[in-house]
Amino acid sequence: MTSHVEEQIRARIAAATNKRQQQRQQRAELDEARQAGLEARKAAKLRRRCAVCERPLGKGRGRPCARGCGVYLCRAPHRPPCNDVHGGQCARLTPGEGA
């Protein structure tokens, strides 16, 4: 036979255990979401590179391909320019078009 005091203590211990378990589960869910967000951020950073020279492109520093193939090219002053190099190997280059 247990007293009502012991029952209250057991109930408090069980409530505290449940609360800790819920907090652990919530932290695990938030960590999963954070990891997914970090992976998406990393993938987006890798997409912001010049298609020819692989230089990183900052915000507003690249220009899209003139033929609309979806790649971005840098505006760096090196020779030959990336838009000229990409022009000869663009996926939307038509056979009769001179590069």
- Tell me the pLDDT tens digit for each residue of 81-91: 888 888 777 87
Residue with tokens 């800790």: 20
- Average the pLDDT over 5-29 and give the result: 96
SS3 95: coil
SS3 56: strand
* Gyration radius of the chain's alpha carbons: 29
96 shares its domain with 79: yes
pLDDT at 99 over 50: no
Give the domain range for residue 94: 50-99
Note the pLDDT of residue 42: 87
HSE-up of residue 4 (Cα within 13 Å, Cβ side): 0
Helix, strand, coil shares, percent, the chain, to 5: 50, 10, 40
SS3 58: coil
Mean pLDDT of the residues in the chain: 86
63 shares its domain with 31: no
Q: Which of 60, 75, 72, 67 is nearest to 92 (CA)?
A: 67
pLDDT band at 8 (very low <50, low <70, confident <90, very high): very high
56 shares its domain with 94: yes
24 shares its domain with 67: no
99 shares its domain with 69: yes
80 shares its domain with 92: yes
Q: What is the pLDDT of residues 30-60, one digit of tens each?
A: 999 999 999 998 888 777 888 888 888 877 7
pTM over the 0.85 mark: no
43 shares its domain with 63: no
The number of distinct structural domains making up the chain is 2
Note the pLDDT of residue 98: 54
